[in-house]
Copies of this chain bind each other. A is one copy, B any other.
């Protein structure tokens, strides 16, 4: 019997799960709505139903389940619990790893989605063979997974690696965390939308007056719009990427001073913009990196975005535990 694991990614909207072999081959996948407004007691039976279907599939394929890895918001690797998740109505502290372990009788590990993404890159993606690197997820917010000497950096409480909440502009933009100037208010899908609004307020010149971004209400504007418009050569959209990359690159130069990683890997919606974002980010990162580190750290884009990165990340988490 060949070994396999199940990787589960619990997102605010959907939960995705898959049956994954050690090679990263995803034998089967499923998706269910998370229904964040439901209590966890209603979510779990629906989740278990889908796990059972994957288990049946494993049996059919001659695969033996070795463990289950879960990526979820506010997940604590040390305790296997989910603590006060911001987008789920799961009250207090949910011992999710324990619940799932008791139900299926295999080892279960739990961490947040950015840490799972980092392990996914290490096992199956751009960080294969690396022991020191950082994955930065550029979605609605900015998450990060830091790997030091082959292990995720969890810190004293299990929650380390909150690069999105490093202050980059003193007294800067209001952040959902209640503070101001956090990196994710600039460098994220939401951040670049805010930068477009800032540029619309700031600029009043021939070069940017005709920008089609001026015709889209903020609430309807997406990072994909901005990228498409920039690719058509629109000055305002291009400037939004320049500013975003400049702030992100400066923050990554500081990250290098802390961690001296082999690579920083960008992941998520905004990273889909590719060179539009990478060029200004790399330029600022190199310009602001301390001389002893300059040119040492690669800036890469995830190679898992075309594949089911969230499931692969959650599966890498449990493959890593099983190997330990």
A contact set with B: CB distance below 8 Å: 130-132, 146, 148-149, 151, 153-163, 165-167, 170, 177-179, 250, 253-255, 257-262, 288, 290-293, 296-297
Per assembly, the copies of the chain total 2
| Complex Cα gap A261–B250 (Å) | 23
- Interchain CA distance A122-B32 in the complex, whole Å: 47
Max chain B Cβ within 10 angstroms of own Cβ: one of A159, A165, A250, A255: A165
Q: Which residues of B contact A177 (CB under 8 A)?
A: 290-291
Do residues A162 and B132 form an inter-chain contact, with CB atoms below 8 A? no
Contact of A163 among B166, B258, B296 (CB under 8 A): B258
Assess the A161–B262 pair: CB atoms within 8 A: no
Given contacts A148-B148, A178-B291, contact A156 B262 (CB under 8 A): yes
Contact between A160 and B290, CB atoms less than 8 A apart: no
A sample of 22 inter-chain contacts (CB < 8 A) reads A131-B156, A148-B148, A149-B153, A155-B259, A155-B260, A156-B260, A156-B261, A156-B296, A157-B260, A159-B292, A160-B259, A161-B260, A162-B260, A162-B290, A162-B293, A165-B257, A165-B290, A166-B254, A166-B257, A177-B291, A179-B288, A255-B258
